[in-house]
Amino acid sequence: MTENPDTPFRPEARSPRGFIDKRNAQIAIERRLIETVSKVYESFGFEALQTPAFEYADALGKFLPDSDRPNVGVFALQDDDDQWMALRYDLTAPLARFAAQNWETLPKPFRRYAYGPVWRNEKPGPGRLREFMQCDADIVGSDRPEADAEVIALAVTGFKALDIPTRIRINNRKLLNGLLTSLGVIDPVQQLGVLRAIDKLDRFGLPGVELLLGAGRKDESGDFTKGAGLPSSAIQPVLDFVSAGGADTRGDVLNRLANVLANSPEGLAGVEDLGRIGTALAAMGVDEASAVFDPGIVRGLEYYTGPVFEAELLLETRDEKGNLVQFGSVGGGGRYDDLVARFTGEKTPATGFSFGVSRLAAALALVGDSHTTRARGPIVIIAFSDSDMGEYFKLAAEIRAAGMSAEVYVGRSGMKAQMKYADRRVSPAAVMLGGDELANGTVTIKDLDAGRQAALQISDNQQWREARPGQVTLPRQDAINHLKSIMNMT
RNA sequence: GCCGUCUUAGCUCACUUGGUAGAGCGCCAGAUUGUGGCUCUGGAGGUAGCUGGUUCGAAACCAGCAGACGGUACCA
């Protein structure tokens, strides 16, 4: 840089795009989500597991960095021995690695839950960050549909415990695979195209999906998206299949699917699996509204091999301007029978579910979640004079010993600013131990909530100052009890 | 990745055809020698995203880059 040496370089204070700072309120929401969901997971017999943020890139699967584009999709870097390491992009791949590495000694089937941040190096958007939290539960080593049902029940129970209205939509990869095979659509590229087309059902509706199944679709901006190129004879059966959802009960959907898939052995096997899942769900008391069968759910993930599930948020969320915000799925999962086999060569059936913690927290922040009690600040002890600081800290220690949080103001501003500070921290009380109080063996305590209330009635400043709403002066030894009563601890 | 719109004070936004910036809110202070709100008064705060070009002169016009937003693609 050719700058004047007198002006030092000043970096712009900013966070990398797709990465955000979380303040007290949001941390509180995320913490509650993780704690609640973890308890539910444990009640279903899942044990906790923490794996590192980094994995060797080859352990993460197909999104390997190659030498030209080492950072597509993942954040990767080379270790000092030249091996590629990458930040994990989900919690499932590390589980597969862990299970493969420790398979001999694990109790099988292995049930574990995990939570923590994951990272994806892709374009961020609203509700879409490059660092976010997930909370997963998986069962490795069971091929029973009942294991899938447990994972679904787990998700339903978790959302119920959080009191967040959601619906789990359940599908099975075998259904569509079977249908396509029976229709003679066996080209994997074409099959993938069909999955992508169906995934757009929410946004473009049946007519849009029809176009994408065939030649393709042009959107409003004139952009053309190439379709799956199915023959017209195959399009209608796929549309019929997708439309088979939306019946009143899980049983009704299965009946419809059985009709549509009558010519497909694999498809009927998939319906059979769903039937057993449905039976188990009913036994576990999962009601019809909380978990539905829906052949329109795709979950683009190529690694899913059987049942797939997706959690849909049923809250209406709006941003500051009142616009509807579509949050998409707030969780999902499914059966992945080939993931562990990547390491061991042995087919190891597994199924799991993932809570999108960050996305849920963002949604709850938008709706002003009623559970989110506003984060309260500490009791603030006003600092009057340097020579009395010891008295302030002594009182702070007493308050903490009584189970309340307290803080001595350690800035250098005057009293008015200190009161403002306490107000801004949403403190329950301010405590004054000034020269008068110390001389008289008293303490003055101001109930800030009571004052806030009173302020609404008083418009005259003189009156406001004289009333000193919520404020009392009492013997020093009564301070703790009075504070407790303000905090509703008596 | 592709297409489009946008970028002026901490925030939300103004500034008639290019003549070197304003408001509201917020923030700080005072009125009120030891008291949050209201009211009034004063103050701080901007190289108009960055870089280059056109011009006597650019926040405004042009180009490149960066970032934000919207759509689309992708999404483990």
Confidence at residue A5, expressed as pLDDT on a 0 to 100 scale: 42
Q: Is the pLDDT of residue A140 over 50?
A: yes
Average the pLDDT over each of A4-18, A175-189, A286-300, A319-333 and give the range with the smallest value.
A4-18
Confidence at residue A13, expressed as pLDDT on a 0 to 100 scale: 72
Predicted model pTM: 0.86
Q: What's the rounded mean pLDDT across residues A120-129?
A: 77
Share of chain A above pLDDT 70, in %: 89
Residues of chain A (104-143) having a beta carbon less than 7 angstroms from strand B: 120-126
Q: Is the pLDDT of residue A193 over 70?
A: yes
Residues of chain A (40-59) having a beta carbon less than 7 angstroms from strand B: none
Q: What's the rounded mean pLDDT across residues A191-196?
A: 89
Q: What confidence tens digit (pLDDT) does each residue in A262-308 have?
A: 999 999 999 999 999 999 999 999 999 999 999 988 886 678 889 99
Q: Which residue shows structure tokens 């008596």?
A: A490
ipTM above 0.90, yes or no: no
Nucleotide nearest to A326 (CA to C1'): B70
Higher-pLDDT residue of A418 and A17 is A418
Q: What confidence tens digit (pLDDT) does each residue in A384-426 have?
A: 999 999 999 999 999 999 999 999 999 888 899 999 999 988 8
Higher-pLDDT residue of A207 and A157 is A157
Q: Report CA(A213)–C1'(B4) in Å, whole number.
A: 27
Q: Report CA(A321)–C1'(B14) in Å, whole number.
A: 20
Average the pLDDT over each of A112-121, A218-227, A241-250, A427-436 and give the range with the smallest value.
A218-227
Residues of chain A (256-295) having a beta carbon less than 7 angstroms from strand B: none
Nucleotide nearest to A90 (CA to C1'): B76
Higher-pLDDT residue of A361 and A100 is A100
Distance, C-alpha A221 to centroid of its chain: 33
Confidence at residue A17, expressed as pLDDT on a 0 to 100 scale: 78
Q: Report CA(A217)–C1'(B73) in Å, whole number.
A: 13
Residues of chain A (48-107) having a beta carbon less than 7 angstroms from strand B: 60-61, 63, 73-74, 89-90, 92-93
Higher-pLDDT residue of A6 and A306 is A306
Query: Residue A3 CB closer than 7 angstroms to strand B?
Result: no
Highest mean pLDDT among A48-57, A81-90, A358-367, A452-461: A48-57
Nucleotide nearest to A417 (CA to C1'): B36
Q: Is the pLDDT of residue A48 over 70?
A: yes
Q: Is the pLDDT of residue A110 over 80?
A: yes
- Please report which confidence band the pLDDT of residue A1 belongs to, taking 50, 70 and 90 as the band edges: very low
Confidence at residue A67, expressed as pLDDT on a 0 to 100 scale: 47
Q: Report CA(A335)–C1'(B15) in Å, whole number.
A: 61
Q: What's the rounded mean pLDDT across residues A179-187?
A: 90
Query: Residue A419 CB closer than 7 angstroms to strand B?
Result: yes
Query: Residue A318 CB closer than 7 angstroms to strand B?
Result: no
Confidence at residue A4, expressed as pLDDT on a 0 to 100 scale: 41
Q: Is the pLDDT of residue A127 over 90?
A: no
Query: Residue A299 CB closer than 7 angstroms to strand B?
Result: yes
Residues of chain A (178-217) having a beta carbon less than 7 angstroms from strand B: 196, 199-200, 203
Q: Report CA(A222)–C1'(B3) in Å, whole number.
A: 9
Q: CB neighbours of A121 closer than 8 A, spacing ≥ 6?
A: A71, A72, A73, A74, A75, A130
Confidence at residue A220, expressed as pLDDT on a 0 to 100 scale: 63
Strand B, nucleotides covered by protein (CB < 7 Å): 1-4, 28-32, 34-39, 67-76
